Structure 1
Amino acid sequence: MSAPIVHGGGITAAAATFGGRPEDWLDLSTGINPCPVALPDIPARAWHRLPDRHLLDEARRAARDHYRSGEILPLPVPGTQSVIQLLPRLVEADRLVGGTDNSVAVTDNRVAVTDNRVAVVSPTYGEYARAFASAGFAVDAVDDIAAIGAGHRLAVVVNPNNPDGLIWPAETLIALHDRMKAADGLLVVDEAFGDTDPALSLASRAPQLSNLVIFRSFGKFFGLAGLRLGFAIARSDILARFEDWLGPWAVSGPALSIAASLLRSDVSPIRGRINERCAGLHGVLTGAGLQLSGGTALFTLVADARADDIYTHLCRHHILVRKFDYAPEWLRFGLPPDPAADRRLGEALQRFER
């Protein structure tokens, strides 16, 4: 099994290294709305009883209307990470002949034609490559969808991408889907950061794209990541397999109740607040002389040769941002929750010795 990937959000570990109480740190290491929405009323029975079918059906109908997925009722899942782990089960693993060694070859921007390879447009969220590699697949990390070939049984595109915010146009992804379908392959499009710009989503086209799987995050946009809720959008037999593999009561009753309420609410104020916070962050970063190299409304990527020193400096001021072992010049900044946090970040950056 491959080594665990270090993600954002490790405040406890950072505080253990640099001091301070975790609750006093400013966590800018994730791409989560820092202004969580107010929770709707949750019926007492949602806490008291196992999540009954009507709760699941109501959440699915609300998700269908919110994501505009037409005849497809999106499947609630306990965080999209749960179904990422299930993706290898949709295709056959390429096991080594004559042994139980499940090691694989991972190539960069090279395509080798075999029956059981997967392609992940990279760099991106690392759990996709890790899930397939752990299951015995050969993973091709490609930097362009043009490098995805007929030998790939499944391809993954994160759109908008994490961490650079790269956006692939819908028609380009549809053309890739058609290529994958012609080779009896699947296309997975992760739209975890798609809520801030719904026009980017393929959800409304999903009923006509039979070999497409879309993942949507709930917690990032609504600021409720601790709820552990996401949605999968795909043809009915794929969703049925996910549901079977996840087992009964995979998503809690309170989570389903919250989803049904919030997905039917007016989300334009949420988008407005996120855009306001994004503008505040950009002002701080450019004011500190940092180069903005990409991102989405929920995070900004900075490229700087001094990234490691800046990261350590901010940690000493109890501010956590995201760094990357595969790109040591990158830092990803999540959104500060308010102008006071903007000032705290700005003052810390101004103290950095250039």
Structure 2
Amino acid sequence: MLEHGGNLNDAVIRYGIARDGWLDLSTGINPDFYPAPELRPDAWHRLPEASDALAAAACAYYGAPQMLPVAGTQAAIQALPQLRLREHGVARVVVAAPAYAEHAHRWQQAGHAMREADYADLPGAVDTCDVMVVCNPNNPTGARVAGEVLLAWARQLAARGGWLVVDEAFGDTTPQLSVASHTGAQGGLIVLRSVGKFFGLAGVRLGFVAAQAPILDGLREWLGPWSVSGPAQQIGIAALRDTDWQQSTRMRLLATGERLQRLLAAHGITSSGSAMYQWWPEPNAVAFHDCMARQGIWVRLFTRGAGGIRLGLPPDEAGWQRLQQALQVWREQTEQTERAERTA
């Protein structure tokens, strides 16, 4: 199983700091989560039948003509390679990288001919694959691909029976990038959306897939009955319909995302990302991760390639101050090391 952010139990064991002593910045999840409403008693008692109200709320919020609720986009990420294999056989798959590692892992695990490609190389890769997977905006780098470019790629792939899978899990603060509204007209275009990130409800395990009916029908059959719990359905409907909360949260996240980027820049770090996280290719990524952890701050370490660090948003002003102090410790430590190397 791959390692992901949010693995705070590992931090507790490795560094011996009690769980409540950590500032967890290892995910890109909104720390100011949606206030879940009180649930009806039957949410716990009844089998969770498919909810037309939930699907309609998702279509209205994401702008898609039809959507399938799933138990988090992870469920779809695991199912789509299997569905493609059953219906079309082994595919040539290109996954944009670096990105959420589960995409490449699951396509490879299913037996497809998978390779990863840098975002800059994607235009030339479209003609070499049957399936392309793109995170937009990308997690962790924040790289973006314009909607018209994605739609052109989708048309190229669909012409030969291919798929373009666009993971928009972090797309709530950049709605102008979304291609979900085009899934009804564009065959082979599959868009993934998540309630866990923007709404801060990762524990609810709720996501959605937008695509044409044959793909959604195949995915529904593959996932089986009762795939989304009753509590998740009720909470999801409330969150997706609450336009006032959505608007104020979007504005706040855009502002705090800029604040995080400025804070990093003030400590000599040039980063990129989205409103909910920042990332940079840190040459001393392991040392930075360890320095933060020893101060009780858990960040996301990437060791593939040149290595990198991703930071999520602090939950409160105390968290911001704590991060600022930890970054200062890192900067002083780095400067001390550089001085020692110059005099050696």
The answer to whether the 8 Å contact 1:298/1:334 transfers is yes
* CA–CA separation in structure 2 for the residues paired with 1:26 and 1:139: 36
SS of the residue aligned with 1:7? coil
1:311 to 2:306 alignment: no
Shift of the alpha carbon at 1:115?
6.7
- State the partner residue of 1:195: 172
Among residues 41, 51, 58, which one is paired with 2:53 in the alignment? 58
- State the partner residue of 1:36: 33
1:5 to 2:27 alignment: no
User: Which amino acid letter does the alignment assign opposite residue 31 of structure 2?
Assistant: P
1:146 to 2:146 alignment: no
Among residues 225, 249, 263, which one is paired with 2:202 in the alignment? 225
* CA–CA separation in structure 1 for the residues paired with 2:12 and 2:288: 17
SS of the residue aligned with 2:241? coil
1:175 to 2:152 alignment: yes
User: Which amino acid letter does the alignment assign opposite residue 140 of structure 2?
Assistant: P
- State the partner residue of 1:22: 19
* CA–CA separation in structure 2 for the residues paired with 1:115 and 1:11: 37
* CA–CA separation in structure 2 for the residues paired with 1:115 and 1:44: 46
User: Which amino acid letter does the alignment assign opposite residue 334 of structure 1?
Assistant: G
1:79 to 2:72 alignment: yes
Among residues 317, 326, 335, which one is paired with 1:339 in the alignment? 317
Among residues 85, 93, 107, which one is paired with 1:118 in the alignment? 93
User: Which amino acid letter does the alignment assign opposite residue 50 of structure 1?
Assistant: L
Shift of the alpha carbon at 1:23?
2.4
- State the partner residue of 1:90: 83
Calculate the TM-score normalised by the size of structure 2.
0.91
User: Which amino acid letter does the alignment assign opposite residue 229 of structure 2?
Assistant: S
SS of the residue aligned with 2:198? helix
The answer to whether the 8 Å contact 1:284/1:342 transfers is no
Shift of the alpha carbon at 1:64?
0.6
The answer to whether the 8 Å contact 2:90/2:111 transfers is no
- State the partner residue of 1:282: 261
Shift of the alpha carbon at 1:148?
2.3
Calculate the TM-score normalised by the size of structure 1.
0.88
Q: Which moved more, 1:83-92 or 1:119-128?
A: 83-92
Question: Which structure's residues are more often helix, by fraction?
Answer: 2
* CA–CA separation in structure 2 for the residues paired with 1:331 and 1:297: 16
* CA–CA separation in structure 2 for the residues paired with 1:187 and 1:271: 27
Task: Report % sequence identity.
Answer: 41
* CA–CA separation in structure 1 for the residues paired with 2:310 and 2:128: 34
Shift of the alpha carbon at 1:328?
4.2
* CA–CA separation in structure 1 for the residues paired with 2:81 and 2:307: 32
| CA-based RMSD | 1.7
1:29-74 deviation digits (Å, cap 9, x = unpaired): 1110011121123222212211134xx111000001001113x2x1
- State the partner residue of 1:109: none
Among residues 236, 247, 250, which one is paired with 2:224 in the alignment? 247
Cα distance change on mapping 1:255 and 1:276 into 2, 3 Å: same
Among residues 127, 132, 140, which one is paired with 1:155 in the alignment? 132
Unaligned runs of 5+ in 1: 94-113
The answer to whether the 8 Å contact 1:308/1:328 transfers is no
Shift of the alpha carbon at 1:171?
0.7
Shift of the alpha carbon at 1:272?
2.0
* CA–CA separation in structure 2 for the residues paired with 1:329 and 1:214: 28
Give aligned pairs, total: 327
SS of the residue aligned with 1:38? coil
Unaligned runs of 5+ in 2: 335-344
Shift of the alpha carbon at 1:190?
0.5
